[in-house]
Amino acid sequence: MEYIILSMLLCKSMTVYEIRSYVVKNLSTVCSNSLGSIQVAIKKLLGKGYIEVKAFTENGLNKKEYSITDKGVTEYKDWVGEPINLSKMTNMEESKFFFLGLAPKDKRVSFLKKLINDLEEEHKKLLAIQEASFGLKNQVIENNVSSISKDPKFVDNILGVSKEKELPAALGNTYDYQMSLLRYGIERTKFDIGFYKSVLKEEKAR
């Protein structure tokens, strides 16, 4: 979660609620969107000096806005592009499936039906996002360039990390990989649906 937050703060300063809103909208399939987990990650980043906080008042409300520090940018440069550590790609929820055979048959069937239904809903959601994103690459890049260019610090952050000479090129690469991850999510959920349907069929025949 810490590096996901650093990724966002590389481009703009954000409040904790803006961070959570972005995670809910774009990353709910790959990480927790709970306010608690985000706040824990922010506390760790502050402790390491990777981010800083600025308090301000807006419409009578006290708010805190978080920004990445130079130390945070340096840390991010070391992290981004490094190979994925497969040993850390675990999902504790999958342990329920590992021990599902200990549950009564009716609960096993109910578990599998619910899982398949949830996966089908997730698959529809991802397909809708893909459809809504079709043909919008140039528009998204232009909007992001316009927003980020308002503060030279964020332009320097992105160009410094990406080693690109122009902001549109760096943001274009980012967009392409985000769409690739979306495509991966679609293919993965499609496979999972087929797999768990076959398990359910075997369970009913048992």
DSSP-assigned letters across all residues of 94-136: HHHHHTGGGS-HHHHHHHHHHHHHHHHHHHHHHHHHHHHHTT-
Q: Record the tokens describing residue 34, joined without a space.
A: 């709970």
Contacts of 126 (CB under 8 A, 6+ apart): 29, 182, 185, 186, 189
What tens digit of pLDDT does each residue of 71-95 get?
999 999 989 888 877 666 666 677 7
Give the phi and the psi of residue 52 in degrees, each rounded to 5: -130, 160
CB 36 within 8 Å of CB 13: no
> pLDDT category, 26, cuts 50, 70, 90?
confident
Cα–Cα distance, 55 to 21 (Å, whole number): 19
Report DSSP state, residue 92.
T
Cα–Cα distance, 187 to 89 (Å, whole number): 18
81 three-class SS: coil
pLDDT at 23: 87
Task: Look up residue 181 and give its amino acid.
Answer: L
Q: Which CATH class is domain 1-84?
A: mainly alpha
Instruction: Provide the mean pLDDT of the chain.
Output: 91
Q: Record the tokens describing residue 101, joined without a space.
A: 């055979």
Average pLDDT over residues 138-144: 94
pLDDT at 87: 67
164: left (phi over 0), alpha (psi -120 to 50) or beta: beta
In 3D space, the residue among 128, 120, 89 whose CA is nearest the CA of residue 195 turns out to be 120
CB 31 within 8 Å of CB 50: no
Residues of the chain with CATH 1.10.10.10: 1-84
